[in-house]
Amino acid sequence: MTEQEIQEKGYAYPEALVSTEWVQQKLDDTQNIRIVESDEDVLLYDIGHVPNAVKVDWVEDLNDPLTRDYLDPEHFANLMSEKGITPDTTVVFYGDKNNWWATYALWVFRLFGHDNVKVMDGGRVKWEAEGREMTQEVPSFERSDYPVPTRDDEKIRAFRQDVEKHLEAQGPLVDVRSPGEYSGELLHMPDYPQEGALRGGHIPGAANVPWARAVREDATFKSADELREIYEGEASLNAGDDVIAYCRIGERSSHTWFVLTYLLGYDQVRNYDGSWTEWGNLVRAPIER
Amino acid sequence: MERKDRISRLVEQASNPRYRGVLEDADVAMPGGGPECGGSVVVYLKGDGNGRIEGLSFTGQGDTISIGAASMIMQKVRDEDLTMGEVLDLDYGAFVESLGRDVVGSRTRNATLGLSTLKSAIRKYQRDARPGT
């Protein structure tokens, strides 16, 4: 796949995606570009990664170790300095699981106003499938100067109270978990240790669009027309909508946030990172099955 | 053993899991974990009625740590011919140490998925053997 093929997929912001070939050509441009691998399988980077890529671990690097929240601006600035990233650096994310964690890391970067971000279409699986070089060598970059940013939790992040208001206003919600989680049936499986939620089901009125429906078998994103058919044709969303997406802890829904925001050009999409582990435990929170 | 060797060991185990498969005549089939987060396994256990393990296997999918560590605990239990009581006494922290804390990091739940599910299977086996208790 080339940049022209990405252009032909008709996205609102095609520049948010780059091809594996583009990354291949830019591997040595470490002055301007930083390639970031972010995976669910935390050992994959050690097994082999794209040359000159650095690793960002969503648990150890992006989460606050105590409070359920993301890292604070000071720690973000320090993380960027460690990775040799400046505010002007173009950060290209890729990872396993159809770029699930890559888009999650990207979303966190956006909270801190690092807007110069892209995703490598197809992620790790496509890079490997094409037989491109992988290395175990961990690059080291000179510490950069990254001023402490301001974290903006308003525009692309939703908290519980936002969801409650959204519910009152009958705003569109999209639940990107599997159909079993959405229906609540998983809680009824005997001896199945459920993680973190006392009640099963979904937030009333939420449409169910499992996140991975946005990608093709080769892990690249579907075209804009195909995505519109899913999100607008089936789930009845519209580009002008104020949308809140959620999943279990906000990671899968960051993938959908990326799709709606960058590929379909929605202006108002928020990721509810409290997601089902918060809502499914709330006393008297309305639930639908 | 260096970190890269500990990683290689987990990768090898995850690539070629020991005792993988369904145990057709199992007394207990115990699911554990979550398919969308780290990994999920089913542990199959057959007992001899006197606290010994006659058959043990697992199926599942997940990340390198989850599947590699599940394979390693199956191998340990069988190689050392541990009894059910001895498995229940296994310490999670010590098991994580044996895998390497520098490898597992904060993914201790993934690392202990196989062991915790095996312990659950044993407890169910013991409960089923004592109806009414």
Asked whether residue B103 is domain-assigned, the answer is yes
A-chain CB neighbours of B124 within 8 Å are 191
Decide if A3-129 and A157-279 have a common fold: yes
Q: In which residue are the tokens 């604070």 written?
A: A72
Q: According to the model, what pLDDT value does residue B35 have?
A: 64
B-chain CB neighbours of A47 within 8 Å are 7, 11, 64
Q: How far apart are CA A48 and CA B69, in angstroms?
A: 20
CATH of the domain at B52: 3.90.1010.10
Tell the CATH topology of A157-279.
Answer: Oxidized Rhodanese; domain 1 (3.40.250)
Asked whether residue B121 is domain-assigned, the answer is yes
Asked whether residue B122 is domain-assigned, the answer is yes
Phi and psi at residue A237, to the nearest 5°: -80, 160
Structural domain total, chain B = 1
> For A11, which DSSP code?
-
Q: Between chains, do A46 and B7 touch, taking CB under 8 Å as contact? A: yes
Q: How many CB atoms lie within 10 A of CB A179?
A: 11
Whether the ipTM is more than 0.90: the answer is: no
Closest CA to A287 of A158, A182, A131, A178: A182
Q: Between chains, do B120 and A193 touch, taking CB under 8 Å as contact? A: yes
Half-sphere exposure of A23 (CA within 13 A, CB side): 32
Residue A240 structure tokens? 């002008």
Residue of B nearest to A136 (CA): B4
- Per domain, the residue ranges of chain A are 3-129, 157-279
Q: Are A260 and A254 in contact (CB under 8 A)?
A: no
Buried b (16+ CB within 10 A) or exposed e, A96-133: bbbbbbbbbbbbbbbbbebebbbbbbbbbbbbbeeeee
A-chain CB neighbours of B33 within 8 Å are 193
Tell the CATH topology of A3-129.
Answer: Oxidized Rhodanese; domain 1 (3.40.250)
Residues 6+ apart with CB under 8 A from A260: A231, A237, A243, A245, A266, A269
Asked whether residue B79 is domain-assigned, the answer is yes
3-class SS at B67?
helix
Q: What tens digit of pLDDT does each residue of B91-129 get?
A: 999 999 999 999 999 899 899 999 999 999 999 999 998
Asked whether residue B133 is domain-assigned, the answer is no
Q: Which residues of A are catalytic?
A: 247
Mean pLDDT value of segment A60-80: 96
Instruction: Indicate the pTM of the whole model.
Output: 0.91
Q: What tens digit of pLDDT does each residue of A21-54 get?
A: 999 999 999 999 999 999 999 999 999 999 999 9
Asked whether residue B132 is domain-assigned, the answer is no
